[in-house]
Amino acid sequence: MTEAPVPGPVPRYELPEWREIGVVAGITGRGPDRARPFDLGLAGEATPVGRVMDCWNALLESLPEFQGTVVSRQVHGKEVRWQHPARGLVIQQGSDGHMTAAPGLLLAVTVADCIPVYLVDPETRVIALLHAGWRGVANGILERAIYLFQQGAARVDSILLHCGVGICGTCYQVGSEVMEACGVEARTGEKNHLDLRGTLVDQARAAGVVHISTSQFCSQHDSELFFSHRGSGGKDGRQVAYLGLL
């Protein structure tokens, strides 16, 4: 299962199978205009602020099923906040994960190589969306989210988990200290390539999650479709991963 393009003026991709269970899960793309990319980065310098907010407005207009959207200025931590119903665009500070049971509320995280992790419990109708770079993986943001699902009476083996569009292991070369922080053995004297999605899948399986899928896209390999922080030397914008209950 992977993201499929959605027709329309906003460049975005969704998991069509999840719509069948009343869940919208997707991510925006770069768009076809290289001179005016669909940049949603709240703290970036690649695109003027006014144009970034125009892109946010266009995204929200393309998803009229949702009355409110919540996003945070991310800090590569492991905090996952419970979100209540809201209206309009709500910008918070300091968390890298969101969780809710409120239909009509769209959860959002910004990414440009880090992995968006989508979690849904079809039984309790609780969802969570995480921003997982290597620090989030090392800090245990996925384990934190799964623990919160369990605290809400979810069965781990009922959770659906998707690791979305992000950098692949072939493209992501890191130091041995990053490998070790993420619990992956580093190879002495060799280049270390960290597969963040593979590491997240291993963590999910260790926690008892069985329904797992991963995106076929790499933000750097597929940089004509998506922003890549590494691929651009830090000059690229940001796409937004989103998740909501219908």
Task: Please answer whether residues 237 and 39 qualify as being in contact, where contact means their C-beta atoms are separated by less than 8 angstroms.
Answer: yes
What are the DSSP calls for 211-243, one per residue? EEEE-S-BTTTTTTTS--TTTTTT----EEEEE
Q: Per-residue pLDDT for 190 more than 90?
A: no
Give the start-to-end residue ranges of the domains of the chain. Answer: 4-245
The predicted model gives 201-213 an average pLDDT of 98
Q: Per-residue pLDDT for 55 more than 90?
A: yes
Angstrom distance (rounded) from CA 100 to CA 22: 14
What are the DSSP calls for 156-211, one per residue? GGG-EEEE-SB--TTT-EE-HHHHHHTT-PPPTTS-EE--HHHHHHHHHHHHT--E
pLDDT at 234: 85
Q: Per-residue pLDDT for 221 more than 80?
A: yes
pLDDT at 171: 96
Express each pLDDT in 66-77 by its tens digit: 999 999 999 999
Q: Per-residue pLDDT for 148 more than 90?
A: yes
Express each pLDDT in 171-180 by its tens digit: 999 999 999 9
**Residue 235 pLDDT level (bands cut at 50, 70, 90):** confident
pLDDT at 27: 98
* SS3 assignment, position 12: strand
pLDDT at 187: 80
Q: 4-245 sits in which CATH class?
A: alpha beta
The better pLDDT of the pair 227, 46 is held by 227
What are the DSSP calls for 78-90, one per residue? --EEE-----EEE
Q: Which residues contact 55 (CB under 8 A, 6 or more apart)?
A: 38, 39, 40, 47
Mean pLDDT of the chain: 95
| CA 25 vs CA 63, 85, 245: distances in Å | 11, 18, 9
Express each pLDDT in 29-52 by its tens digit: 999 998 899 999 988 777 999 999
The predicted model gives 190-195 an average pLDDT of 90
What are the DSSP calls for 111-135, one per residue? ESSSEEEEEEETTTTEEEEEEE-HH
Q: Which has the closest alpha carbon to 120: 196, 4, 20?
A: 20
pLDDT at 191: 84
